[in-house]
Every structure is written in structure tokens, then in C-alpha cells.
Chain A
Amino acid sequence: MFLSFILVSCSFEENLPHQDLQGTVRLPKEASQFLFGVGEEQRVIDDIRGMGPIYLGAFPSVQEGLYPFTHPEMGPIVNDGQDGDTYPYGGTTVGRFDWACYQSMVCKTVTGRYSSYEDLLDFHNNVLEQPILTAEGHEVTSKEEFQERCFEVLYSTGDQEMLFIQGSDFQDNGDEWVAEVDLPHVFFEEGMSVWGWIDMPSVTFDFNTCDTEQGAQVNYYDQRYSLGTNYQDLLNFPGKYIDNGDWVAQEAAIITDPEKDFDLEIGYQYVEE
């Protein structure tokens, strides 16, 4: 009888209005370019590893005229000086901020961009020419030193726990970069729009969507600081965070069938005039 009770429970259909959406995001090859440095030192870097997280949300619709780029529709303005909330139905990211073991790396590392410690060191030493520094100000030069520091400060025993070196989210598809994405547990309304943007780095390789004061805390001998994480209301107020150089989807992917894969192109670069 007890077994029957359990079996009946397992077959209960909750009829939740939520669906898991799958699809692809396509970016033009130019989206891997960004300006780095100031003054005469400034140069264009073309490297997909420098790209920030791609934020994707499901919204009732996107509209033109709210910003210089398309933007999800907004609800009423409730607080002075702040946009109306977009009231998203759900969302996800392609890559997220992760902490790469040193204070100098807070809000500088995104998952799905690097395949190894050497890859991350190469990007900072040879591409940005801005080496990773230890708490004492010494340059990190070897994979072994990097790995030992990570194992020590994160109390880890294997590289599989280092989410920032698990390989690239992107596939090279000729003229485009392509990433597979899942939007789990999205409130489904027929005709809703999947829309998003890429947070591109600033000239100092900082990201507008990362808050250095938030996130988990490191408490390791005399090192005490926040590890940084994304702001909580990115999908509620995207216009607050999209800034110069970011890439935005000009046309949303309209979802009529949650079982059908969507295809979203993020192909417009917002450049402030």
C-alpha cells in the first residue's frame, strides 16, 4: 500500500506553465574584438576569450525607441530615476563570472572562455599584457603555481572543480561564433521573445555587469575580500547595464513552440555617440 502511494505520487502532473527552452546564439566574428588600454597604448584586441557573459532573457516582447538598441518592454516606473521593470519570464547566461584564485582576478574571469591554466595565463600575459598578480604583487608565470594556489585557496583537489578552465562555450562556424544554450524553467507564453546582449570588457578589462563588492567571500589568512558576481537585476533592467561596445540582439527570437529550438543572433554593436 505504501509502495502504491509512492507510485501514485510520482505520476502526479503538476501542470506548471514552465518549459525548458533550447536554442543557439550566433555572434558575428567581429564580436570578439574590443578596445583595450588608454591613450597611445590603446589597441584593438581580437580574442573570443575576452568576451564577457552573454545574458539571455525571455520577455513578453522587445521594443524599439526605449534605447538606441532594442530593449524588452517595461512595466510602469515605480522608483524615481529608474526604468520600469521588464518582468522577465526567465533567463540564462553563456558564461558567468568566476573567481580565478587571485584578488587581481575578481570580476575578470568568465566561465566557458578558457581551457587550461596556461590558456588563462596566455591571455593575460601575452594578449592583454597585463599579468596575473599574487597578493604580494608578483607575477604568476607557471601553471603549477596557479594550480597550487587554486587548490589551496579553494580547498580543491582536482582541475575539474575549476569551472573557469573547462573549455570554450563557442564553436567557430565560419563567419560566426555559435553557442548552444538552455533556458531552464521559463514561464511560457506563446509569442514571447528571447533576447539578450554581450557584456564586452571596458578599456581596463572591467565588466559593467559584475559587482566587485558582492559574491562569496575569501577569508584566507590576511586576505579578505569579495569574489565578485553579476548584479541581481540584469534582466529586470538591461538598459542600466548595456554600455559602449556591448553587442545586442536587434531582433528577438519569437517562441511559439517550446519544443522547437530557437535561433538568436546578437549582431548589433552599441557605440555611444
Chain B
Amino acid sequence: MLKNSISALFIAFTFGCDRSGIELVPETNGDFDSVIEVGEVGVMTTVQLQELQSAVLSGTNPQEWCDNNTTADGKRPCYFGILGQAEVGVKGGATMTFKGTGSDVCLIVDPETVFWNTAVAATRPEREWRYPDFEEDDGDIDLYAGLSSYYTGSPGLEIGDFKGFYTDSLGNQVEIEYGECIQTGSNGAANAHAGRASVESCTINTYNRTGIEYTMVLESFSIPLDDGSLSFGVAAVEGRCSDIGATECTLYGESLVANRDDNGDVTRDEDGELSTYVRDCSRQLELAYCRGSLLEFCCIYPEMCGEDATESTCATISETEESICSSSSEFNYLCCQ
């Protein structure tokens, strides 16, 4: 008996070692840079944030809105872009700077697009989350920020951090975290980061540091497997994130697709910035998530959600694309036509 158990354990270990996890990392490609330096962004007002939301939900490309508007100090107020997969062993991500205002500044980053855990309860699963999410189209970005003077990376070349070292009088080295972007987990744990496709935000107190440069680091934690590119939106907004209510429903339209020329190459403007458009139907997916109508949306547009829904998942949904696209429908905002 013991001999059999040990043999089974050995075989289990052998198979366990056979899994590398490489299938969870997309291939690198030359279309998108894995490290981006955005430059300086201005700190936008909450009024500008609302204008951005309205414009994007009305069909404006968020990248264009950010390029065509400025903050009071003449800076670009936000950034929407696409990151590629970094090579193995290299951290990828985007960096940008902003200047301290002397008050609180809320930093928000929203990676594409939305993610939810499927409700799988045997009895009465939560209606909103009953339809499964397609996980391979979501990415994950971890947000860090701090004084630029503490940043160890090389903008546009290498992603760094805000860690420094203190050597005590006995020669013992202690690592010090100079990053100021502290996010709290649901269990109260400090230094938490949100998961797949979820927005991250933190408040930076720039009191007494007016005009002092801060660096934001958007570290790409995972790149979507379906296309090897991770689009995102990011902004620095006046005030505390808790007052602004920085959520998944703050920045819309972050699911971007690069325009391509006849040769299939991604197109860029004269400044080297990618030319993009918002992925079809992704705004509606975000709205469905934010307004509690994911089940209706996913049952009508299953290609935007997942493929593993059971036959009964949509049994209670009577809406069709035709019905929601009529102007009188309460779900008209979900219409992708």
C-alpha cells in the first residue's frame, strides 16, 4: 500500500513538473512597445474628467480627446495607449510624470476592459455575474507612484521602482519603499494591487510639493492572451480618489485597437503616437458592467463576454439586439449597432 502511494506521488510530481505556464504569456511582437514613456501629463479637474466621460460615451476616441484638450497649465490631461508584451525576464510598462499641485491628486489607471468572476452558486447564483467572462481579452496593470527623484528606472527604456536602501551603523542594509501610491486591499492589507482588468487608483498628497515632479509607473502585470497587446487609460485628477469615486466606471473607452495600413503595419502619427480606435462594442460592455445589465448584454452579444455559458444562463433574458436598439428601450445604451 505504502509502495503504491509513493509511486503515485512520484508520478504526480513528474506530471506536475511538466507544466511551464508559458502558455499564459503571449508572444512578443514588434507592433507595440513593451516600455512606453508618455511624458508629462497635467492634473485634470473633476469637471474635465466628466467632460472626458461624456465625450467618450458619445463616441469620441479618448486618445483624441486627451490630445486635443489641455489642463490649466497647458499639459495633456490624460493618456490612452497600448502596451506590448515584454521579453522574458524584463518588466514592461508605461511611465509618465505630473507636477505636485500642493494638494491631493488622484491617480487612476484602467486596463482593458472589464472582468468579473462568474457566479457559480448551485442555487440562485447572483444574476449580474451569471454569464461567464472571457478572461483572455483582459490585462492587468499595477500602479506605482512617487517622487521622480526616487525613481530608479530609465523612462522609455527600463521600468524601475521607488525602492531605496538605508545602511544602518552596523552595516546592515534595509530596503525602504519611497513609493507613495498605497492601495488597500479588501481585507485592509496595505500595498495591494487590483487584479485582471480592474482599475487601480491611489491618492498622492502633494502638500508642500507644488511644482515638484512625480512619476507614475504602470507596470504591465499581464498582457491579454488573445492579441498580445494591452490597452489602457490613465489620468491624474485633482482631489482624493475616495471623493472622485475612482472605479471601473471612471475611465471609459480604454479598449483600443491600433489602426493598420494596407501592409498590416500599425500606423503612427508624426510624433510616433499610435493611431487607434475604440474596440467595437467595448463601450457598451463597460456600460453594461457599470449599470448592472451584464446578463442582458452578454446574452445579446456573447462574443463580447465568454463562450462557456450554459443553455440556461440566458433563459430569463427576453431582450434581443433589435429590441434594445429601439430608441424606446431602457437598454438602448447597450446597442452596438
Evaluate contact between A61 and B208: CB separation under 8 angstroms. Answer: no
Q: Is the C-beta of A263 less than 8 angstroms from some C-beta in chain B?
A: no
Residue of A nearest to B6 (CB): A2
Q: A167 at interface (Cβ–Cβ under 8 A)?
A: no
For residue A60, CB closer than 8 A to chain B, the reply is yes
Contact with A along B205-235 (1 / 0, CB 8 A): 0011000000000000000000000000000
B178 pairs with A78, CB closer than 8 A: yes
Say whether B189 faces chain A, with CB atoms less than 8 Å apart.
no
List B contacts of A60 (CB < 8 A).
168-170, 172
Those of A72-87 within 8 Å (CB) of chain B? 73, 75-76, 78, 80, 85, 87
Contact at A78–B170, with CB atoms within 8 Å?
Answer: no
A75 near B176: Cβ-Cβ < 8 Å: yes
Asked if residues B176 and A73 are in contact (CB atoms below 8 Å), the reply is no
Chain B, residues 285-299, CB within 8 Å of chain A (1/0): the string is 000000000000000
Using Cβ atoms and an 8 Å threshold, which residues of chain B touch A189?
170-172
**Number of chain A residues whose Cβ lies closer than 8 Å to a Cβ of chain B:** 16
Minimum Cβ distance to chain A for residue B144 (Å): 15
Query: Are A73 and B166 in touch, CB under 8 angstroms?
Result: no
B contact residues, total (Cβ < 8 Å) = 14
Q: Which of B166, B170, B171, B208 contacts A76 (CB 8 A)?
A: B166
> What CA separation (Å) do A76 and B164 show in the bound complex?
10
Q: Which residues of B contact A192 (CB under 8 A)?
A: 170
Chain B 155-193: CB-based contact to A (< 8 A → 1; otherwise 0): 000000000101011111010101000000000000000
- In chain B, what residue has the closest Cβ to A189? B170
Q: Is A37 an interface residue (CB 8 A)?
A: no
* Complex Cα gap A89–B6 (Å): 43
Most buried by A among B169, B171, B207: B169
- Does A184 make an interface contact (CB < 8 A)? no
B1-46 with Cβ < 8 A to chain A: 2, 6
**Which residue numbers of B lie inside 8 Å of A, CB to CB?**
2, 6, 164, 166, 168-172, 174, 176, 178, 207-208
Known: A87-B174, A89-B172, A189-B170. 16 other contacts (CB 8 A): A2-B2, A2-B6, A60-B168, A60-B170, A75-B168, A75-B176, A76-B176, A78-B176, A80-B207, A80-B208, A87-B166, A187-B172, A189-B172, A190-B170, A191-B170, A192-B170
